[in-house]
Chains A and B, each alone.
Chain A
Amino acid sequence: MRAPDMDAGVTAGDVLLAVENVSLRFGGVKAITDVSFDIRKGEIRAIIGPNGAGKTSMLNVINGFYHPQDGRITFKGRTRSKMRPYVAASQGIARTFQNVALFKGMTTLDNIMAGRTLKMRRGFFWQMLRHGPAMAEEIEHRKVVEEIIDFLEIEAIRKVPVGRLPYGLQKRVELGRALAMEPELLLLDEPMAGMNLEEKEDMCRFILDVNSQFGTTIALIEHDMGVVMDLSDRVVVLEYGRKIADGVPDEVKSNQAVIDAYLGVPH
């Protein structure tokens, strides 16, 4: 697997993605109110907060599933009022989902190959023929996918329909599909939810390896505070759709507003 191409404009440490004053409402329900933060190239950025704080909504805004009413999103130096899923994917934003969204009837291999969709460009006609360039292309991408499968240590389940896999492995396949896109920014929505300790440790290792080996920038939502504080370079904290803290893990840990949000305050 190759590291994603470094854009001339964005090198390590620069701002890769910034959301500014984003607000998102569903009718009268305010999911996100006036939130701004940024993600720097090469870092692991955690988004935390109590249930219903708007964390997943924030990821949905970043990859274009939700369109905010106000605010701007700047990715790789281009500012937009909203993302579209296709634009986000083709610009290098990949993601996984809280409740695993895999193609259940398809095999592990096909699921991860689906992640290569945007990298494969041979037209309809060649594909029908299954010959010449389309075949060569298929083989070339299969190679990349096999490397990802090795990396995630899921060789044994290559041909198994993912609907039959245990939850922990499904999460791993989903990560593999996102990696197949060779993303610059990887959004992980609770990558460790519902896992046992061993599975969590594996997943932590994969996340760190992805970050260090491929230089992929990662934004993750996670409830396990131990994991968050260990993994992330910086943490942003949301509560009721507002940002209440932002900084390195130690700062955030000792922030009174964060402690109140998690433990509750006497009224």
Chain B
Amino acid sequence: MDILYNIFIDPFVQMGSAPDLFVQTLWEGLVSGVLYALIALGFVLIFKASGVFNFAQGIMVVFAALTLVGLYEAGVPAILALVLTIGVMFVLAVGVERIVLRPLVNQPDIILFMATFGLTYFLIGFGELVFGGNPKVMITDELYLPRGSVEFEMLGGFVSLQKIDITAAVIASIMVASLAVFFQKTRIGRALRAVADSHKAALSVGISLNQIWIIVWFTAGIVALATGIMWGARSEVSFALQIIALKALPVLILGGFTSVPGAIVGGLIIGVGEKLGEFYWGPLVGSGIESWLAYVIALGFLLFRPQGLFGEKIIERI
């Protein structure tokens, strides 16, 4: 009975007895959730428009952040460096379209997926060659991003919020909202989804695959840059960041691979679930559940709702 009490009753008693601590944990969960959501958003964009799981999204985050910091360190003013980095992401999008995607039109998705592996290792090598392998510090102040924290007195205690986290949440919300509308309601959004479903049908109605792919990889590049800045500001800019990108997988399974709002809701659920799980249930198994809880949640979802919360349910006729 002790075990049952510890699992089902005690954590909630704790939450009730120290609500400020609960709010603090919840907030931290939401913040890491927003960052997961940003990464997942990059995946969703490319998946929606080409039906391909872009393995390179994680390294694109690192590459964008490295380019930004690298340019600054080379003496370029911060704002100019930001503009140039956006330019670099555009060149990357055009390059990917020309060299990787164009020769692979109408190939099975798995071929394109493997091609993104190739892209990943190319970007790792190229990034290290140009910017070196050492971790860098994000130029937070130079980009006029806020630093420090604000404290609220509430529920009989103090809750402190990092200003950078609030900024990240705002930026992520704006991006997600505009992309969701863009995908659902506009001609180009429709064309993006059309390309994902069938290359030949898209071609037959006069949609230009090349143009669509450049748009979508460029947008994913911008999202990667935003993610890189936000995440870099919280820790540091290094190649290790791309591992965190794998956390986007459970987020995607939860939210659905094809849904922009799904990416953000999935991200928040995973983020909050992780932090609350670690704080309240972690001690029961000697902590450390933060690193695997997300995958367990995702596994549960695969069993009961494989298309995710917001994914499109496609029934294959056989």
Contact = CB atoms under 8 A, between A and B. Distances in A.
Contact of B186 (A118, A127, A163): A127
Q: A interface, how many residues as a size bin?
A: 35 or more
Interface string A104-144: 11100010011111101010100110100010001000000
A94 interface: yes
A95 B198 contact: no
Given A90-B206, A114-B194, A163 B314 contact: yes
A184 B92 CA distance: 39
Interface string A170-183: 00000001101100
B183 to A, nearest CB: 11
Contact of B190 (A104, A113, A164): A113
Nearest to B48: A105
Main secondary structure of the interface of B (DSSP, over half): helix
A116 B186 CA distance: 12
A97 B205 contact: no
Interface in B262-302: none
B117 to A, nearest CB: 25
Given A117-B206, A117-B207, A101 B190 contact: no
Contacts of B200: 65, 97, 101
Give the interface size class of chain B.
Answer: 20 to 34
Interface in B177-231: 178, 181-182, 185-191, 193-194, 196-198, 200-208, 215
A178 to B, nearest CB: 8
B190 A85 contact: no
A178 B201 CA distance: 10
Nearest to A181: B205
A169 B20 CA distance: 57
B187 A122 contact: yes
Contacts, number: 102
Interface in A47-78: 63, 65
A127 B188 contact: yes
A103 B197 CA distance: 5
B312 A89 contact: no
Contacts of A90: 206
B315 interface: yes
Nearest to A102: B201
A188 to B, nearest CB: 12
Given A89-B206, A117-B205, A161-B312, A103 B198 contact: yes
A37 interface: no
B258 interface: yes
Of B200, B201, B203, B206, which is in contact with the most chain A CB atoms at under 10 Å from its CB? B206
26 contacts: A63-B204, A85-B203, A85-B204, A95-B204, A97-B200, A101-B198, A101-B200, A102-B201, A103-B196, A103-B198, A105-B258, A105-B312, A106-B190, A106-B193, A114-B205, A117-B190, A117-B205, A117-B206, A117-B207, A127-B189, A130-B181, A130-B185, A161-B314, A167-B317, A177-B201, A181-B206
Interface of B: 178, 181-182, 185-191, 193-194, 196-198, 200-208, 215, 258, 312-317
Which 10 residue pairs across A and B have the least CB separation, nearest first? A89-B206, A101-B201, A103-B197, A85-B203, A127-B186, A118-B206, A105-B312, A120-B187, A163-B314, A103-B194
